[in-house]
Structure 1
Amino acid sequence: MAGGKYNVGIVGYGLSAKTFHIPFVNAVSDFNLYAIVQRSPKPDDDASKDWPHIKLYHSAEELVKDEQVHLVIVTTAPVSHLQLAKLALQAKKHVVVEKPFTPTSAEAQELVDLAKSQGRVLTVYQNRRWDSDFLTLKKYIDDGTLGRIVEFETHFDRHRPEAPPASWKAEHAPGTGAVYDLGTHLMDQVVHLFGMPQRVTGFVGSQRAVNATGLEDSCTVFLHYDDRKVLVTAKAGVVSPEVNQLRFWVRGEKGSFKKFHLDPQEDQLRKEGLKPGDKGYGIEADDHHGVLNIDNGGGKIVSEVVPTVEPPTYVEYYRRLAAALDGDMSKVPVPPEEAVSVIKLVELARESSRLGQTLTV
């Protein structure tokens, strides 16, 4: 149905669906928000009241039987991703899976193989490939401004030493913990830039003094690109009392790039009520821009604050997905094979941490 509307069915009606998917589905004219699966609507949390035109289903099994559904978006907890994505693919639906893809790389590969056998598009919602600061950094790497990269640090640190609020993210279950939650964002960007490393060293555990669940709340992962002579540090911590949290520090033979603060889109969506297309959405504050240092030769380093690029925003994920559904598979926003690689790195990081050893990929 190239060029037509794709009816979208969303499984789950929590933060992910409401904040990170529905606004962007609605922002792309190729898609029609058609149905939502919400098992137990409440008076103050009812998808059918928020979106009166949709069909409301109480199970994914009901949803995938609807022949009018073309695309299923799975937004539930990671432990259910394999089952729900498999159900949708077997029903000949295209599928988007919220990150982390699946708790294991074997499960992820099973879904990739199933999608190929069914002739359906499968992709994972690694939306931070369209963060403005990441795109700025990628530009400087791609155009050679920084020269050959030797060190790449990517951080998602916060100061939250208190116990987290109750949610599935705070439960000890397959696919939860810092390296699955924030680590997959960080490592997906790295794999997107550099491919797979040769070795992995992981430190995965808890920084909180009181952690009743025993759930891993922090991680530091070293990705060794021996072929490129690049060392990548991917770090997410919960005890980091900084006014300005470091986001990127990348050093190359010709220059370096240092950036503080996170891309603004999540806060704009969650805290400010902005939506795609609203004035200022996706635009970073001037005082959050990064610093570029360039070696002009003779030991002279010139430093300047450089503007963050104006991003296509997370809408680009769904624009690309629409093109892929129309037949241009080069536009699949996140190839599922790359998402499998990220889960493999998660597994290696956790095993490396357990063994206290650097592991070969």
Structure 2
Amino acid sequence: MAGGKYNVGVIGYGLSAKTFQIPFITAVPDFNLYAIVQRHPKPEDDARKDHPSIKLYGSAEDLVKDDQVHVVVVTTAPDSHVQLAKLALQAKKHVVVEKPFTPTAAEAQELTDLAKSQGVLITVYQNRRWDSDFLTVRKYIEDGTLGRIAEFESHFDRHRPDPPAESWKAYNTPGNGAVYDLGTHLMDQVVHLFGMPQRITGFVGSQREVNPHGLEDSCTILLHYDKIKMVATVKAAVVSPEVNQLRFWVRGVKGSFKKFHADPQEEQLRKKGLKPGDEGYGIEPEENYGTLNICKNGQILSEVAPTVKPATYAEYYRRLAAALDGDTSQIPVQPEEAVGVIRLVELAQESSRQGRTLTV
């Protein structure tokens, strides 16, 4: 149905669906929000009230039986991703899986192979490839401004030393924890820029003094790119009492780029009620711009580095539409890359357990 509308069925109606998926599905004309799976609607939380034109299903099994559903988006907890994605693929639906893809690389590869055998697409929702600050970093790397990169540092640090509120996110279950949650975002960005590393050193555990469920709430991972003589450090901490949190610090032979503050889209979506298309959505205030240091004539000169114009997370679904229309080079996240990121998660955890650097 190249060029037509694709009916989307969303499994789950929590934060991911409401905040990070549905606003962008509905922002792209190629997609129609057709159905939602919500097992237990409540008066204050009812998908039918929020989206009166949808079909509401009580189970994923009922959703995938609907031959009018073309794309299934899995937004549930990570330990259910494999079962639900497999159910949709077996029904010959295209599938988008919220990150993290799966708890294990073997499961990720199984889903990738199943999609190929069924003749459908599978991809993972790594929306932060379209963070404006990451696109700014990417620009300076690709246009040669920084020269050969020696160190790439990327952070999602927060100061949240108290135990998290009771929910599935508070438990150390398969596919949960810092290395799966924020770590997969950070490593995906690095792999997207540089490919897979040759070696990995992981430090995965808890920084919280009180941790009743054994949640791995923090991680620091070194990705060693021996062939290009670079080390990438990705870090997610919950003990970081800073007014301005470091986001990127990239150092090359010709210059460096340093930036504080995260991309504004998540805060705008969750706290300010903005959506794609609203005035100011995705635009970073000038006071949050990064700093560019450039080597010229034996001196290092510093200047403000404006954040690039945001593509916003809607670009993910624009690319997915192009891929469904036949241009598979536009698959927003190639499943093979997503498999590789989960493999890095496993290796980071094993490296941390063994206390040594491992070969990828």
TM-score, scaled to structure 2? 1.00
- Structure 1 distance, partners of 2:68, 2:11, is 15
Query: In the alignment, which residue of structure 1 is the partner of 2:63?
Result: 63
2:37 maps to 1:37: yes
Query: In the alignment, which residue of structure 1 is the partner of 2:28?
Result: 28
Offset of residue 297 of structure 1 = 2.8
Query: In the alignment, which residue of structure 1 is the partner of 2:356?
Result: 357
- Structure 1 distance, partners of 2:167, 2:276, is 27
Offset of residue 50 of structure 1 = 1.0
2:132 maps to 1:129: no
Instruction: Name stretches of at least 5 consecutive residues in structure 2 with no aligned partner.
Output: none
Superposition pairs for residues 104-115 of structure 1, below 5 Å? 104-115=104-115
- Structure 2 distance, partners of 1:121, 1:289, is 37
One-letter amino acid of the counterpart of residue 42, structure 1: K
- Structure 2 distance, partners of 1:297, 1:12, is 57
Query: In the alignment, which residue of structure 1 is the partner of 2:279?
Result: 279
- Structure 1 distance, partners of 2:336, 2:82, is 15
One-letter amino acid of the counterpart of residue 149, structure 2: I
- Structure 2 distance, partners of 1:135, 1:297, is 28
Query: In the alignment, which residue of structure 2 is the partner of 1:50?
Result: 50
One-letter amino acid of the counterpart of residue 164, structure 1: P
- Structure 2 distance, partners of 1:232, 1:28, is 34
One-letter amino acid of the counterpart of residue 69, structure 1: V
Q: What's the secondary structure of 2:42's corresponding residue?
A: coil
Query: In the alignment, which residue of structure 2 is the partner of 1:328?
Result: 327
Q: What's the secondary structure of 2:228's corresponding residue?
A: coil
Deviations 1:156-187 (A, max 9, x none): 00000111111211112100010000000000
Q: What's the secondary structure of 1:224's corresponding residue?
A: strand
Superposition pairs for residues 164-243 of structure 1, below 5 Å? 164-243=164-243
Q: What's the secondary structure of 1:259's corresponding residue?
A: strand
- Structure 1 distance, partners of 2:169, 2:356, is 27
- Structure 1 distance, partners of 2:167, 2:257, is 36
Root mean square deviation of aligned Cα: 0.5
Residues 127, 316 of structure 2: 8 Å contact kept:
yes
Count of aligned residue pairs for this structure pair: 360
Query: In the alignment, which residue of structure 2 is the partner of 1:7?
Result: 7
- Structure 1 distance, partners of 2:23, 2:67, is 24
Q: What's the secondary structure of 2:333's corresponding residue?
A: coil
Q: What's the secondary structure of 1:201's corresponding residue?
A: strand
Structure 1 range deviating more: 167-176 or 55-64: 167-176
- Structure 1 distance, partners of 2:112, 2:169, is 25
Query: In the alignment, which residue of structure 2 is the partner of 1:96?
Result: 96
Query: In the alignment, which residue of structure 2 is the partner of 1:294?
Result: 294
2:73 maps to 1:73: yes
- Structure 2 distance, partners of 1:163, 1:310, is 37
- Structure 1 distance, partners of 2:294, 2:229, is 20
- Structure 2 distance, partners of 1:239, 1:297, is 41
Offset of residue 306 of structure 1 = 1.2
2:340 maps to 1:341: yes
Structure 1 range deviating more: 47-56 or 264-273: 47-56
One-letter amino acid of the counterpart of residue 165, structure 1: A
Query: In the alignment, which residue of structure 1 is the partner of 2:254?
Result: 254
Query: In the alignment, which residue of structure 1 is the partner of 2:154?
Result: 154
Instruction: Name stretches of at least 5 consecutive residues in structure 1 with no aligned partner.
Output: none
- Structure 2 distance, partners of 1:51, 1:166, is 28
List 4+ stretches of structure 1 deviating above 3 A.
none
One-letter amino acid of the counterpart of residue 211, structure 1: N
Query: In the alignment, which residue of structure 1 is the partner of 2:303?
Result: 304
One-letter amino acid of the counterpart of residue 318, structure 2: R
Residues 171, 214 of structure 2: 8 Å contact kept:
no
